[in-house]
Structure 1
Amino acid sequence: MAGEVVFGLVAHSLALLADAGHMLTDAAALGLAIFAAAMAARPAQGRWTFGYKRVEVLAAQINGLTLLVIGVWIVYGAVRRLIDPPDVEGGIVLVVALVGVVVNIAATLLLSRASRTSINVRGAFVHVLNDLAAFIGTAVAGALVLATGWNRFDPIASLAVAALIGWSSWGLLRDSTRIFLESAPAEIDPDEVGRAIVSADEVVETHDLHVWTVTSGFPALSAHVLVEPGADCHAIRRGLERMLVERFGLDHTTLQVDHARASTTPIELTRLPRG
């Protein structure tokens, strides 16, 4: 990385300097990912009733923010160099970028073996994948500068890399923010879950239905369920729990099941009387 900074300054290449800055954040991202994974593995205790699982989500959001900052910095530098391009040493850019491609292919293959169901691991993987793409773009720009002598290929390549970084940053920030705001998982429709609950035998209605994500791969549900007078609340709860696991993959559920009063007026998600 230090060598890339030196060669970037010698070659007057923004693309190499941008890659060096991205590699610095990669190292920080990987360190943060390892720390977050270690914290997430710690058991729940005291006031931390869910443990430290959302540290992984926080790490992913930090990674997304650093990617965004890097992308903005690259765009700023690229626009300046498009207006007033310096002389770029295309040969140096090409050689250094090709070395970076080899190193990042190895890192990408290593991380690709890890499970990317974790948003934290996915954040680290996106960092390294973006770095690989950046080096490929830089190598192409170096070759074109070397072949044509047109120095603006260097900032153009930087803008392409910045676009990729911005797209990746948006994905991480969107997904981590959805978890922090306790939005329902993208693959689970709360309305469909509610209809499935009230379609069960002897269920009258359900309300206060909440579906959220504690951390990646850990969806949770809570609901208040009213059943017909005289129905077996415990048996119905167990049946609903099995259905929620089988149909929606919800194995962390909290269901309060009570008998409905005779005068109860259904409020929402009420089953229609059987004809």
Structure 2
Amino acid sequence: MEKNHHHHHHHHHEISTSMNKIFIFCIALNLLFVGIEAVVGLYFNSVGLLSDAGHNLSDVFSLVLVLVAFRMGKASSTPQFTYGYKKATILISLINALILLVAVGAIIIESIYKLKNPQPISGTVISWTAGAGILINGLTTWLLMGGSKQDINVKGAYLHMLMDTLVSVGVVISGIIISYTDWMWIDPVIGIILALIIMVSTYNLLKESLLMTLDAVPSSVDRDMISEKLDKAGCLISWHHLHIWAISTTESAATIHIVVDSWEDAEKAKTEIREIFNNAGVHHCTIETEIDGTECQAYSCK
């Protein structure tokens, strides 16, 4: 079991190391794009481009936050912080979800304003910049896609970049439609539709982050399946006080109290329970064992 535990941490370390490099590359790429967008916006006196550069800068900030979360997640434990700073990764995912929600709200407000005050679509330079945004944000989104299924922090950054990519696509599509039809209202309508689509994923991210902050059972862990397998465990008389919570955005912990007939049964039960938790993705668990009226003993399956 010790070997399995180390294997899990080694695998987690490999994931965070590879994503670390991807995030550094994405931050550099998006900072370069923000700089170009700001320069072009100043040169052509485009408030739209300057505001978009500011928005993209907030995405860079979100990427930096996730990078900080990776670093904090790998920090060693201390006498005061016995799990290290792993919980900070959950707080950062919550902050990112809130930032994303604010960004979606800003797009909806801006789109409603454009509906009430229709203006001609941006010129060729702005359309080309939106096209560049599709390439930059699209590449960043693609790079983050794989890790978004393993860590909700990466998922938050992925949603940020996906939103920006869709908004850029919306600007290009609306520009094409307007050039043929003069339907000025299509630009804000597309903006609202895209914002609502992203809001669904943002809600799920916010909900999951909040639940993890409140020490709810992580969505990646099937508590019902664990309960069913515990009920079928051969050496157990009963079990209670099962608690499962997230240590970080990628690691979970659990405690359980079991009752057995003898110490021999306790050893067999521990082995079986460790396997149940490991198969469920919970690699930090403590098992308290009681034998008919005797004092309970705690066993860690770390």
TM-score under structure 1 normalisation? Answer: 0.82
Q: How does 1:113-152 map to 2 (within 5 A)?
A: 114=147, 116-152=149-185
Choose between structure 1 and 2 for higher RCO, CA contacts under 8 A separated by at least 6 residues: 1
Using the alignment, how far apart are the partners of 1:102 and 1:42 within structure 2?
35
The yes-or-no answer on 1:256 pairing with 2:288 is: yes
Shift of 1:145: 1.9
**Deviation by residue 1:207-236 (Cα, 9 ceiling, x = unmatched):** 111122222231221111011256542342
SS at 1:212's partner residue?
strand
Offset at residue 116 of structure 1 (A): 4.2
Task: Tell me the equivalent position of 1:266.
Answer: none
2:300: which partner in 1?
Answer: none
Structure-2 residue corresponding to 1:109: 142
For 1:223 and 1:236, the matched residues in 2 are separated by 12
Q: Which moved more, 1:234-243 or 1:57-66?
A: 234-243
1:48 aligned residue: 81
Contact 1:97 1:136 in 2 (8 A): yes
Deviation at 1:82, TM superposition (A): 0.9
Range with bigger deviation, 27-36 or 207-216 = 207-216
**Greater Cα radius of gyration, structure 1 or 2:** 1
Task: Supply the AA of the counterpart residue of 2:194.
Answer: V
User: Structure 1 residues 198 and 189, CA, compared in 2 at 3 Å: closer, same or farther?
Assistant: same
* Number of residue equivalences: 259
Aligned to 1:203, the other structure's residue is in SS state coil
- For structure 2, list consecutive stretches of 5 or more residues without a partner in the other structure: 1-33, 295-302
1:200–1:109 distance in 2 versus 1, CA, 3 Å: closer
SS in 2 for 1:215: coil
**Please, which runs of 5 or more residues in structure 1 have no aligned partner?**
263-275
**CA-atom RMSD, angstroms?**
2.7
Contact kept? 2:104, 2:198, Cα under 8 Å: yes
1:48 counterpart SS class: coil
Match of residue 234 from structure 1:
267
1:58 corresponds to 2:91? yes
* 1:4 shift after superposition: 4.3
Query: Structure 2 counterpart of 1:143, which letter?
Result: I
> How does 1:1-275 map onto structure 2 within 5 Å?
1=34, 4=37, 6=41, 19-112=52-145, 114=147, 116-229=149-262, 231-246=264-279, 248-261=280-293
CA distance in 2, matches of 1:29, 1:250: 28
Deviation at 1:30, TM superposition (A): 0.9
Distance 1:214 1:182 in 2: 9
For the residues of structure 1 that align with 2:129 and 2:235, how far apart are their CA atoms?
A: 70
Q: CA deviation at 1:18?
A: 6.6
Deviations 1:177-199 (A, max 9, x none): 12112222324343432332232
| 1:155–1:21 distance in 2 versus 1, CA, 3 Å | farther
Q: Tell me by how many angstroms 1:12 deviates.
A: 7.4
Secondary structure at 1:88's aligned position in 2?
coil
Residues 220 and 250 of structure 1 are in contact (CA less than 8 Å); yes or no, is this contact kept in structure 2? yes
The 4+ residue runs of structure 1 with deviation greater than 6 A are none
Q: Closer, same or farther in 2 for the Cα pair 1:136/1:256, shift >3 Å?
A: same
